[in-house]
Structure 1
Amino acid sequence: MKRRYRRSVTISVALLATLSTAVACGPFGDDKAASSGDPTFTVAAAGDILIHPQLTEQARKDAKVTGKGEKGIDFGPTMAGIKPVISKADLAICHFEPVTGKPEGPFESYPAFLVPPQIVTAIKDVGYDTCTTASNHTLDHGPTGVTDTLDALDKAGVEHTGSARTKAEAEKTLIKNVKGVKVAQLSYAFGFNGKEPPKGKAWMANLTDFKAIKAAEKKARKDGADVVILSIHWGRENWPNPSRSQLSLGRRLAEKTGIDLIIGHHAHVVQPMEKVAGTWIAYGVGNQIARHDVPTGLTEEGVIGWFEFTKKGKGWDVQAKYVPTFVDIPPDPDDAGKLPEGAVKDHRLLDVAAVLRDGDKLTKQQRSRYRLAFERTEGTMLNRGAADDGLRPLQPLSD
């Protein structure tokens, strides 16, 4: 029986405490499901990858130490903190928001991003299999930008969907064989910051439209997909609650299509998860990696959605979990060029629970900040009743 749409609720402190101490099975999979012989696989899906100038400068700094990277740019150390999780998923999906330029630059930031393609190598190295590319920045640099971005992903061995270089590419459904299960991925965005594809080439970037998404899901099934996952760029920036239009479209997609999982992007902050008509909707998984000019505290927090699919009859049972993440940002130096004592010195993407669990050398300030990130993310994720449907952290906080 399909579950009903759940209203927004307030999560009690006692419930949060209970969930925080729950022991995950695995933790990277449902051991009981795996032993039953039913087809089963895991999906990790994370937030926006948006490279700001400070992150590029960090990659230059790190390249001098590692001796790796191309043209003196190495994003590997910045991204490494999530590799233990991402690399464990049977299917890991990133959301690549900007346009890539040439390895040596020049690069641009907001409002029209042009970022180092070296980030794509780091994406591959931490374990991502595919990236969705439909975002409000897809057309920042027109057809050339689309081509350069997809070429960079191809070169790194990362498959993609959401934008296309040719009509034939746009019409081909991205389907991955995941442990014998054919998983299709769709990617759509609400708009492109006022820019449009060239006349007659609307296929270059997928514009959100319910009928188009429904037709794409049906085509994916016709092409042999057993499971269909939708990534959608929607909602209000910097707003932890899903907008009315997100709730309406999300419910319509869950109830009126056969899509098995919906992953939301664009808000740059974490928004709740919710199960609607049997389908999990992650309204917004925040930033995976970004460094906004004015960090808000929330823009450094993100989440990796972790989903365990198990075949049940003609359908799929999907268990949802989450991994709170955090981007460490060094403070601005003083007039003498020095950082405050005890301040972090590098931009680093962290798995919050893992850092706290293994962080014997953390300062009191770091420990407090990371715990705040975990607990605030947890409260947001559960704010539409998802605890009742079993949503919990992949790995809880240690005592």
Structure 2
Amino acid sequence: MSHRSAAFGLLIGLAACVPGGESVTGAACQRGGSGTAFRPGAVTVAAVGDVLMHVFLQQDAAQHPDGFATQLAPMAPFLRMADVTVANLEGPAARDLLVGGGERVLPPDLIHDGAVYSGFPTFNFHPSLITDLGDAGVDVLQTANNHAMDRGPLGVERTLEAIDAAGLAHTGTRARGEAGPWHAVVAAGGQRIAFLACSYSTNGRADPGGQVLLCYRDEAEVLATIRALRADPQIDATILLPHWGQEDMESPDANQRRLAQAALEAGAAAVIGTHPHVLQPIETLTTSDGRRGVVAYSLGNFISSQWRTNQRSSVLLFLDLLPGPNGLEAAPPAWLPTRVTRYVNGVVVQPAEQAAHGERTIAHVETILGREGMLSVADLGGGCR
């Protein structure tokens, strides 16, 4: 465990979870039983939405000795509870790279300068964000999204190098000329789970090397990959991570619904979406051959500096994969409401019930997702113990 991980317990007054089990995940905590998550015999996947580090958040992180870790600390015990946890990295984390591909060598610990590391409309995050996400409990990063090409082809490659160096898995982008798979396979809970990410676009930015898998342009490849993974005896379940939908819309569009059903029919156990920056509903659907699949159309922003209630309100989704007649199947999920809050000493993402004005987030989450499946901190035993 790194010095950053050790600091989490001091920051939030909870004991840090000691990783154990398979080294490719950050799981293995004592977990509170909620009845809708961490069922006996299940592999529990956790997911959060967009990690969207606007300039304000980069500047805030630069004020703290632990950088981005301070912002993530309140959620770390809960992120670590699952067998495997996934997040959407909404932009590159390419060291020393300017817009347009030029380079400017900065001191390694300079988190924000406004040119190399910058915000909207062309994001680039300091690579320490990846390390901090991993220390907080994230195991898999989705890198296919509309900001994936914000630093061009080299930006994609430097981001993947940073993810590899941090020991996390990634899906949805690849280096120029690489013919390897778009998906990542993670050993978790004694099973092998495949994650496949795709994006609706790259914001019109050129992708001359074909480095980003696109959900709709490459739909045939997306579905063929899911079918191949389902047929692979070495893969126990596949989860599609599409970056799709309409920004600020709290309902999925027709393309989301169509691709979600097609992905389940192809063999996906679940579909967990991002991009709209707000929560959208979660549904349990049945395929033509009787399999059950879960679709979370959008998890909204995990952390950003978009401040409307529906933009700062999200959930940590817990999805149990249980043995069924057709392999691992997704059980009805559960979720912990989360809220991004700006305090006088900085910004944090935390369980909504612990946040100032968190009742607004809880009410919003209930409006979108309903009450059944909602978890509290107490349901989860206070996090890792």
Query: Which among 313, 325, 330 is matched to residue 338 of structure 2?
Result: 325
- Deviation at residue 62 of structure 1 after TM alignment: 1.5
Letter in 2 for 1:304: L
TM-fit CA distance, 1:222: 4.4
Could you tell me whether the CA contact under 8 Å between 2:195 and 2:241 is conserved in 1? Answer: yes
Q: Which residue does the alignment assign to 1:372?
A: 360
State the AA in 1 paired with 2:312.
E
* Corresponding residue of 2:84: 91
Residue 219 of structure 1: SS of its match in structure 2? helix
Q: 1:258 pairs with 253, 256, 267, which one?
A: 267
Deviation at 1:206, TM superposition (A): 0.5
Secondary structure (helix, strand or coil) at the match of 2:331 reads strand
Shift of residue 26, structure 1, vs aligned partner? 0.2
Question: In the alignment, which of 233, 238, 241 is matched to residue 231 of structure 1?
Answer: 241
Aligned partners of 1:28 and 1:89 also within 8 Å: no
Task: Work out whether 1:352 is the aligned partner of 2:359.
Answer: no
Query: What is residue 69 of structure 2 aligned with on the other side?
Result: 76
- Does the CA contact (< 8 Å) of 2:36 and 2:333 recur in 1? no
**Residue 285 of structure 1: aligned partner:** 299
The Cα shift of 1:158 comes to: 1.1
> Aligned residue for 1:134?
144
Aligned to 2:27: none
Deviation at 1:169, TM superposition (A): 5.5
Query: Aligned to 2:280, which of 248, 271, 274?
Result: 271
Distance 1:57 1:135, change over 3 A: same
CA drift at 1:240? 1.3
- The structure having more radius of gyration, on CA atoms, is 1
Per-residue CA shift, 1:143-198, capped at 9, x if unaligned? 11101111111111111010001444642641111122110000000010002311
Aligned equivalents of 2:262, 2:231: Cα separation in 1: 21
Please give the alpha-carbon distance, in whole angstroms, between the structure 1 residues aligned to 2:257 and 2:222: 16
Give the structure-1-normalised TM-score: 0.76
Residues 326 and 171 of structure 1: is their aligned pair in 2 closer, same or farther, counting only changes over 3 Å? same
Decide whether the 8 Å contact of 1:28 with 1:88 is kept in 2: no
Q: Distance in 2 between matches of 1:145 and 1:237?
A: 24
Aligned residue for 1:164, secondary structure, equals coil
How far apart, CA to CA, are the structure 2 residues paired with 1:158 and 1:146? 15
Inter-CA distance 172–208: structure 2 relative to 1 (3 Å threshold)? closer
Residue 396 of structure 1 deviates from its aligned partner by 7.2
Alignment partners' CA distance in 1, 2:377 and 2:185: 33
Corresponding residue for 2:133? Answer: 123
- 1:275 shift after superposition: 1.1
2:42 maps to 40
- Contact map agreement 1:309 1:319 (CA 8 A) in 2: no
Q: Identify if the C-alpha distance between structure 1 residues 265 and 173 changes in structure 2 by more than 3 Å, giving closer, same or farther.
A: closer
Contact 1:108 1:115 in 2 (8 A): yes
How much does 1:30 deviate? Answer: 5.2
Equivalent residue number for residue 212 of structure 2: 205
How far apart in 2 are the matches of 1:381 and 1:397? 20
CA distance in 2: counterparts of 1:320 and 1:244, whole angstroms = 23
Instruction: State how far apart, in whole Å, the 2-side matches of 1:76 and 1:134 are.
Output: 23
- Report the equivalent of 1:381: 369
Q: Are the aligned partners of 2:36 and 2:332 in contact in 1 as well (CA < 8 Å)?
A: no
Aligned partner of 2:224 in structure 1 is 215
Counterparts of 2:229 and 2:70, CA distance in 1: 37
After TM superposition, give the deviation of residue 248 of structure 1 in Å.
Answer: 2.6
Richer in helix (by share): 1
- The one-letter code of the counterpart of 1:309 is L
Question: Is 1:53 the equivalent of 2:69?
Answer: no
Q: Deviations over 1:273-314 (max 9, x none)?
A: 01121211101000011113xx32221111111111111233
Specify whether residues 186 and 111 from structure 1 end up closer, same or farther in structure 2 by C-alpha distance, changes over 3 A only.
Answer: same
Task: Report the secondary structure of 1:230's partner residue.
Answer: strand
Partners of 1:206 and 1:280 in 2: CA distance:
22
Aligned residue for 1:26?
33
Query: How far off is 1:231 after superposition?
Result: 0.4
**Residues 183 and 195 in structure 2, CA contact (< 8 A), matched pair in contact too:** yes
User: Which residue does 1:395 correspond to in 2?
Assistant: 376
Tell me the distance in 1 between the aligned counterparts of 2:378 and 2:247. 28
Contact 2:37 2:318 in 1 (8 A): no
- CA distance in 2 between counterparts of 1:28 and 1:62 reads 38
For residue 138 of structure 1, what is the amino acid of its counterpart? A
Q: Look up the equivalent residue of 2:58 and give its one-letter code.
A: T
Query: Does the residue aligned with 1:298 lie in a helix, a strand or coil?
Result: helix
- Structure 1 222/167 Cα, relative in aligned 2: closer, same or farther at 3 Å? farther
Are 2:255 and 1:248 aligned?
A: no
Unpaired segments ≥5 residues, structure 2: 1-30, 96-107, 287-291, 380-385
Partner of 1:311: 323
**Alignment RMSD (CA, Å):** 2.2
Unaligned 5+ segments in structure 1 are 1-23, 69-73, 331-343, 357-365
Letter in 2 for 1:326: R
Matched residues, percent identical? 26
